[in-house]
A and B are shown apart, each in its own frame.
Chain A
Amino acid sequence: MEGESRVLAAIALLALIVVGGLGVLYLKISDLERRYSEISGALEEQAARQERSVEELGATVGDLAGRLDELSRRLEELASGQEASRESVEELARQLAELRAQLDSLRAQVEAQGEAQADVAEQLAALEERLSLLEERLAGVEERLLFPVTVVDGSGDEVIVFERPERIVSIAPSATELIYYLNLLDRLVGVDDYSDWPPSVAEARERGEIASVGGFWSPSVEAILDLQPDLVVGVATAPPHHELKRVLEGYGIPVILLPAESIYDVAEAAVILGRATGQLVEGYTVSFKIKMAAGYALALLQGVEPVRAAAVVWVNPLFVVGSGNWEHEAMELAGMTNVYGDLEGWPQVSPESLLERAPEIIVMTGHNYGLTPDDLKSYLEEQLGDAANEIPAVAGDRIYLLGGDYENAFVRPSPRTVVSVYVLAVIAHPQAFGLTVEDIPRVVTPDNLDVVSLLEERGAPAELLDFLRVALQP
Chain B
Amino acid sequence: MRGLSLAGPAALLVLASLASLHVGPAKPGLPEIVAALLGGGDPAVEAIARYRLVRLLAAAAIGAGLAAAGAGMQFTLRNPLVDPYLLGVSSGASLGALVAVVFLGPSPWLIQLLAFLGAVSAYLVAVGVSGLAGLTGASLIVVGVAVGYLGYSGSVLLMNLYPDRIPFAFSWLLGTVAYTTLRDLEWLVPLTLASLIVLAVLVKRVEALSLGEERAESLGAGVRVTRLLVVSAASLAASSSAAVAGPIGFVGLAAPWLARLLGESRYSRVLVASLLWGALLVVAGDLAARQAAAPRELPLTPLMSLIGAPLLAYLAVRGKRGW
A interface, CB within 8 angstroms of B: 1-4, 6-8, 10-11, 14-15, 18-19, 21-22, 24-29, 193, 212-215, 217-223, 225-226, 228, 236-237, 239-240, 242-244, 246-247, 250-251, 345, 348
Contact = CB atoms under 8 A, between A and B. Distances in A.
B57 interface: yes
B53 A24 contact: yes
Nearest to A217: B170
A24 B37 contact: yes
Contacts of A236: 164
A237 B163 CA distance: 8
Contact of B51 (A14, A215, A251, A345): A251
Given A22-B189, A243-B169, A225 B51 contact: yes
Interface residues of B, number: 64
A6 B159 contact: no
Interface string B251-276: 00000000000000011110110010
B238 to A, nearest CB: 17
Contacts of A226: 25-27, 48
Nearest to A11: B196
The winner among A1, A25, A222 for most chain B CB atoms within 10 A is A222
B208 to A, nearest CB: 11
B204 A218 contact: no
Given A14-B275, A226-B25, A250-B183, A25 B295 contact: no
Given A7-B272, A212-B295, A246-B179, A28 B37 contact: yes
B44 A239 contact: no
Contact of A3 (B181, B203, B294): B203
A4 B268 contact: yes
A25 B56 CA distance: 12
Contacts of B64: 14
Contacts of A19: 189
Contacts, number: 158
Interface string B291-322: 00011111000000000000000000000000
A7 B271 contact: yes
Contact of B46 (A28, A239, A240): A28
A239 B160 CA distance: 11
B61 interface: yes
B179 A222 contact: no
Contacts of A221: 51, 178-179
B128 interface: no
A213 B295 contact: yes
Interface string B57-92: 100110010000000000000000000000000000
Contact of B200 (A8, A25, A213, A244): A8
B132 interface: no
B268 A7 contact: yes
Interface in B123-178: 159-160, 163-164, 166-172, 176, 178
Contacts of B197: 8, 11
A223 B24 CA distance: 8
B182 interface: yes
B204 A243 contact: no
B55 to A, nearest CB: 8
Contact of B47 (A2, A22, A220, A251): A251
Nearest to B26: A226
Interface string B176-204: 10111111010001000100110111011
Contact of B193 (A11, A27, A220): A11
Contacts of B48: 222, 225-226
A22 B196 contact: no
B290 interface: yes
A2 B268 CA distance: 9
Contacts of A7: 199-200, 203, 268, 271-272
Contacts of A218: 169-171, 176, 178, 296-298
B268 A225 contact: no
The 6 closest A-B pairs by CB, nearest first: A3-B268, A226-B26, A220-B295, A240-B169, A223-B295, A214-B295
29 contacts: A3-B203, A3-B204, A3-B267, A7-B203, A8-B197, A11-B197, A11-B275, A15-B193, A18-B60, A24-B53, A25-B182, A28-B50, A29-B182, A217-B171, A219-B295, A219-B296, A220-B290, A221-B179, A222-B295, A237-B163, A239-B163, A239-B166, A239-B167, A240-B171, A243-B167, A243-B168, A247-B180, A250-B183, A251-B50
Nearest to B49: A28
A223 B27 CA distance: 9
B52 interface: yes
Nearest to A10: B272
